[in-house]
Amino acid sequence: MSTRHPIELRDTQGELRRFHRRVVVAGLAVLFGFSLLGLRLHWLQVVRHEDLATQAEANRISVLPIVPNRGLIVDRNGVVLANNYAAHTLEITPNKIKDLEATIDALAELVEITPVHRRRFKRLMADGKRFESLPIRSKLSDEEVARFTAQRFRFPGVDIKARLFRHYPYGELASHVLGYIGRINRNEQAAIEDSEDAANYQGTEYIGKLGVEQRYERELHGLTGFEQVETSASGRPVRRLSASPPTPGQTIRLSIDIKLQALVEQMFGERRGALVAIDPRNGEVLAFVSKPTFDPNLFVDGIDVENWKALNESIDKPLLNRALRGTYPPGSTFKPFMAMAALNTGKRTPGQITMDNGSFVFGNHVFRSHGDHGLGAVDLYRSIVKSSNVYYYQLANDMGVDLMHAQLEPFGFGRKTGIDLQGEVTGVLPSTAWKRATYKRPEHQRWYAGETISLGIGQGYNNFTMLQLAYAMSTLVSGGQRHEPRIVREIEDPVHHRRVSVPGTELPALPLRTEHVAAVLRGLQGVTLEGTATRVFAGATYTSGGKTGTAQAVGIRQNEKYNKARIDEYLRDHSLYTAFAPVEAPQVALAVIVENAGFGAEAAAPIARRVLDYLLTGQYPSEDDLALVREGRVAAPIGTPRQAAEVPLPALGPAPEQSVAGGPTAEAPAASATAGPSPAGASAVDAVPAVPPVAPPASAAASSPARAPLPASRPAAPGPFPTAPASAPRR
């Protein structure tokens, strides 16, 4: 029996329709896909063509900044005080290194990398950015460069670069004037990025920190250049396409004479102090000395911990610019200005007599004078020549503190002089308003009449810088003419060598009567002829005037006498002297202090005499004389003086290649018309914790129960007679 299979009928037409639909859908999908691709291509190739072409070109071409050469700093005679030199550095870009420690270990087999270098590199990496190139070794030798170059293929992200380093040829000489440069820290970087100079500092890693380097940073930096470099896929430069050269920084010409500066620093020796000499005719600073000094070369590539600790913790505070920021009681050098104020206000006439019996009694307090004897009848001339304390005690009492403040503030006391250096302090010229603003407790804000007395002899709350004292003397001897002091004399364009003078701003003259000025200047000249500086200026071939001062570093009890031998060095009196010359047409006014050195005529005045000899007669002290000046054991010059023009320039410091690579970085503080008198023939040579703005340390005053410290930056809580000297300062 046969079985029949049913016949299967296929819907051929239906299958064809479904197939056609599928083909159409697939075709539409493909068309849609190609349409999207076409639109994307149109977007990339047409709409964003220029932008993407620029990006592609940027991937192929790198624009690199070219840091300009930093400008030179020279003295008034063209002697180079700060220049640059090139050296190789081994640098690492951290984000290009997988194992940083292993890479550094491998590099240490080729070049010397000490633990100090490693710590310094980590410090820089913490302060910087990981994609920046950071040096791990500076100032490589030629042999080290050759060894690394031969093995360079092993170290992607490591390279050798040639960089410029700042160099100060004379080392510590004039360091407080020059300042130094150091790596830009985060705060400085933020300030630069917010300024209009941001583009000009691309690629710059160093900036001026103190002194002229800081104040004239913009002029010294120059203009950054740029170069276009074609790079490979790995980012390595292949060839230079174009370049815009940088413009080097301008040359800064100072008003100081480096030979005179060196002479003054040599006369100070190991002693602490400051000296400022100004040309009263135009405000040019002829000498600006702060001792002790420091070597600015230590800071150029990051100062090592040991040197930083030695500088920062030294009891002598070498980082403190004493001429600009050290404040001191002026002692008897204040008396000529008190005399000028007395004449201006009519409180005294030149011939008016005050009886000096050796002491001045106010209430129950006795203000003593020079020892136990008086000077008898004293007029204005004798009050300056013999330095009568009683005369000025009485004068201060008659004037009152506020009148004294009003008369003396225009001379520059208690305010900034406007010198072209940053960091100047105001000092303290007291007044009742000042005391109310200084103290918080009402009973301390009150001004006591007894506090006024000691102000007349430059003690009490009075605290000024040597810059202020020299500026005041310059104003007085010029008859009231005032010029803002200037350290920089000229700025020279390095391309066209054009010089532009930088004169000090001339301020409104003080209304001083000619006969009053003449009366005070006669007294100042008398100091050198028959007064306390007679022995020092014996044999001088020019006329000069001056005033000695001996200022207490700390007070003594009323019944106690000053005994230098029994007092710790840092508690002894300061030696001061102010001077001007020649009397008939002053060309220089100066102020000098030698800390804890005793009488003004013993330590400070001999230094001033030799500065005037140098400036006015071109004479340079003999070696024997210099040795005795450093010890405070000579008055007038001894031996045969030398001609300043024949004395060689100061000895240069170590050459740059002898410098040791920097240790761990430690940030230190951020603590001029007529040519002045200068000896001819000076040849040109080619080439942090903050420091307190107060008087230098007086050791631990508590160690001497008989002496209490006087006020410095902030006076102690006042009383009826808080600072009146029981035993008056020596003259």
Terminal alpha carbon distance of the chain: 155
What Cα–Cα distance (Å) separates residue 458 from each residue in 219, 455, 549, 635?
Answer: 40, 5, 9, 24
Reduced to 3 states, what is the DSSP secondary structure of residue 625? helix
The verdict on whether 454 is a catalytic residue reads: no
Q: What's the CA angle centered on 542, arms 539 and 547, to 5 degrees? A: 85
Q: Which candidate in 138, 290, 332, 727 is catalytic?
A: 332
User: For residues 117 and 105, what is the distance between their CA atoms, to the nearest angstrom?
Assistant: 12
* Chain center to CA of 336: 30
Query: What are 501's strand-pairing partners?
Result: 490
Residues 6+ apart with CB under 8 A from 562: 556, 573, 727, 730
Dihedral angle sign, alpha carbons of residues 393, 399, 400, 403: negative
* In the block, residue with structure tokens 């080729």: 110
Name the 3-class secondary structure at 514.
helix
The DSSP element (H or E) to which 482 belongs, if any, is strand 482-483
Q: How many residues does the chain have?
A: 731
Preceding peptide of 582 cis, ω within 30° = yes
Eight-class DSSP state of 504: P
d(CA 660, CA 657) in angstroms, rounded, equals 8
The string of DSSP codes covering 261-322 is: HHHHHHHHTT--EEEEEE-TTT-BEEEEEEES---GGGGTT---HHHHHHHHH-TT-TTS-H
User: Alpha-carbon distance 286 to 487, whole Å?
Assistant: 8
Burial class (CB in 10 A: 0-12, 13-18, 19+), 61: middle
Tell me which residues are annotated as active site: 332
